[in-house]
Structure 1
Amino acid sequence: MALKDYSDEFRADAVALYESTEGATYKGIAADLGVSRGSLRAWVLRARERSGVPPAPARAAARDPLPVGGGDAAAKRIRELEERSVNWRPASGSWPPNGTSCARRPSISPGRQTGEPLPVR
């Protein structure tokens, strides 16, 4: 990929657009402008460094899995997910079923079961 040389004015406008857009992401603004996410991020960080502004904390994910309704609903959802993860068991009782391998290709030693030592020749 060829390196592109963007004017200082374009870079300043890109940084201003990112800073002024509420909920903007590097990925979204970069796609709109046709630049790479990494370039936009570098421009924003460099502009903040020059102006003496400390780096902003990481932004929250766009999709929040917790309910917005309040602390009780969120706490209930967290407990539910924790309980589900602690009590998780495979439906069939054992995994993988019938002692088969999860490999995509057939075994190179068809008669050998998992855990058995390799034959010595």
Structure 2
Amino acid sequence: GYTYAEMGIHLDQALKLVQRALEIRPEDGYIMDSLGWVYFKKQAYDKAIFYLEKAVELSEYETVIAAHLADAYLKTGQREKAIAMYKKALDNAKPDHEKEIREIKEKLKNLENPVQ
């Protein structure tokens, strides 16, 4: 389901797959993140935030999950929350997650120093 969501394809099927996985493992932050990310890709940002906030709680601010929540905050105009969550994502980033770190730093740079 997450792979479909990440690719932006078969989103209805992705939703069903992730919902089924969540029935089996309701306290899994990664599955909860996947559900939020499917809703994000479906442009249902309020639902995305609902599930991504739960995922962040369950996963203790895991980098990718926190970045997903920050992305959703941005889509709903919650700029300050997005900045705070991107920073939290960086704080918890593992050194070998270079790609994610680079992407988050770029997003933060653009938010903190917007082009005039």
TM > 0.5 between the two? no
- TM-score norm. by structure 2 comes to 0.25
Query: Which has more radius of gyration?
Result: 1
- Highest RCO, 1 vs 2 (Cα 8 Å, sep ≥ 6): 2
- TM-score norm. by structure 1 comes to 0.25
Higher helix share: 2
